[in-house]
Amino acid sequence: MTDPTGPPYLRIAAEIRRSIADGRLRPGDRVPSTRQIAREHGVALATATKVLNRLRDEGLVHARPRAGTIVAAPAAPAAPAAPAAPPALGSTGETTGTRDPGDHAGRDRPRRRGPRPSGQPDGELSRDRVVRASIELADAEGLDALSMRGVAARLGVATMTIYRYVAGKEELVLLMADAAFGELGYPGEPRAGWRAQIERAARTLWAVHRRHPWLAQLNSLFRPLPLSNLLAHGEQLLAALESLGLDETTRMDLQAVIYSHVQGLAVHLEREVLAEAATGLSEEQWMESQGPALGSIAATGAYPAFSRLMAAFGRDGYDLDLDRLFELGLRTLLDGLTVLVEEP
């Protein structure tokens, strides 16, 4: 049993651990976010981050983008291991072994390591590890939860250690964004036709924002980020528009419109993560709580089109599907562009 006088993060972790053990929190349930833990227990965000790191190291929880940190499914019993042959020694004295024949990249793949326990030297810590840990934190908790102390706690190092690799949070966020935008590229030859090229670029951008909802909060049309990996997506759009023979201003305008379609929908992914963390209510629960107020507005008769629409949905309601909205908006934009291009 945890010592009640021990470190706060251990006591809080024990409380959540008991909730998992007695079934109050089940696999797939969301555990309190760092902000909720900090608020409810009166501790710093770095302490709250250590709570989740502790539970993650124990395999009890894991981060899921756009869902936060959730209870992990129980581990399946391990199959009995076949007797292993003694390792052979190579010419350098290192042990050699066999790899899965399908693992053609096994030789170059770095070993996966969890967060380094507090108090250990940073050793193999690198700028890339700092950036990846920061991305994971922002994916799970939102960009507002990102702090140098939180990243340090996630990696199990002192806060000042992070400053060996980045000058501060502003530089860190730029590195995170550039890395995130660079995760998906455009292999192979461009698809034939301007419309197919724009569709590929727009869908790739949407997939990146789907992975990392916080990206939608960063880039402004008035103050675009100078990131090479972001420009790679813009290059795809501009090349397709250039093939249409449009003037420079129109090409730039249309690129901004297409990007804004992606960003405008993606911003709601991040907002929902933050809203659920702040209120503790899922989207469905929040809508249920607002039902009476919306019903009262519809009953006034002042908004007949809205009232008819709500009545048509009946008990099943409206399913807000951002992927469907993205495709609808993209198709509408490109249909309109087709008319513009084909005008005499």
Q: Do 217 and 175 share a structural domain?
A: no
Are 214 and 249 in a shared domain?
Answer: yes
118-132, 205-219, 264-278, 325-339: segment of lowest average pLDDT = 118-132
- Domain at 257, CATH number: 1.10.357.10
**So what's the pLDDT on residue 110?**
36
Calpha distance 195→183 (Å, rounded): 23
Q: CA distances (Å), 173 to each of 144, 218, 227, 230, in order?
A: 11, 9, 11, 14
Which one of 146, 181, 216 terminates a domain?
181
Do 229 and 252 reside in the same domain of the chain? yes
Dist CA 110 CA 115 (whole Å): 15
Q: Please spell the DSSP secondary structure of 86-155, one letter per residue.
A: PPEE-TTS-EE----TT-TTTTTPPPP--PPPTTS--TT--HHHHHHHHHHHHHHH-GGG--HHHHHHHH
The structure's pTM equals 0.68
- Tell me: the pLDDT tens digits for 179-209? 999 999 898 877 789 999 999 999 999 999 9
The dihedral region occupied by 156, where left means phi > 0, alpha psi between -120 and 50, and beta the remainder, is left
The answer as to whether 275 is a domain residue is: yes
Give yes or no: residues 228 and 174 share one domain: no
- Looking at the fold, whether 226 and 262 belong to one and the same domain comes out as yes
In a domain, residue 227? The reply is: yes
Mean pLDDT of the chain: 82
Structure tokens at 280: 């503790």
Q: Tell me the pLDDT tens digit for each residue of 46-100.
A: 688 788 888 888 888 887 755 678 888 876 554 554 444 444 433 333 333 333 3
122 within domain boundaries: no
User: Rounded distance, CA 144 to CA 173, Å?
Assistant: 11
Contact 284, 318 (CB under 8 A): no
Position 122 pLDDT exceeds 50: no
Does residue 216 sit in the same domain as residue 329? yes
Q: If pLDDT is split at 50, 70 and 90, which confidence band does 278 have?
A: confident
Same domain, 324 and 219: yes
Same domain assignment for residues 49 and 168: no
User: In this predicted structure, what is the pLDDT of residue 246?
Assistant: 92
Final residue in a domain of this structure, among 56, 71, 86: 71
Tally of domains in the chain: 3
- Whether residue 331 lies inside any domain: the answer is yes
Strands 88-89 and 95-96: what pairing? antiparallel
Residue 210 covered by a domain: yes
Give the residue carrying structure tokens 């201003």. Answer: 249
Considering 154, 181, 208, which residue would you say is the last residue of a domain? 181
Is 291 inside a domain boundary?
Answer: no
Residues 155, 202 share a domain: no
Q: Given pLDDT bands bounded at 50, 70 and 90, which one contains residue 109? A: very low
d(CA 225, CA 179): 13
Work out the average pLDDT over 20-32: 86
- Domain of residue 234: give its range: 194-286+299-342
Co-location of 250 and 335 in the same domain: yes
Does any domain span residue 186?
no
Q: pLDDT value at position 93?
A: 37
Q: Residues near 282 by Cβ (< 8 Å), separated by ≥ 6?
A: 276
3-state secondary structure of 188: coil
Nearest-10 crossing angle of helices 8-21, 45-57: 50
Contacts 24+ apart (CB under 8 A), 330-337: 330/199, 330/202, 330/203, 330/258, 330/261, 333/257, 333/258, 333/261, 334/195, 334/198, 334/199, 337/254
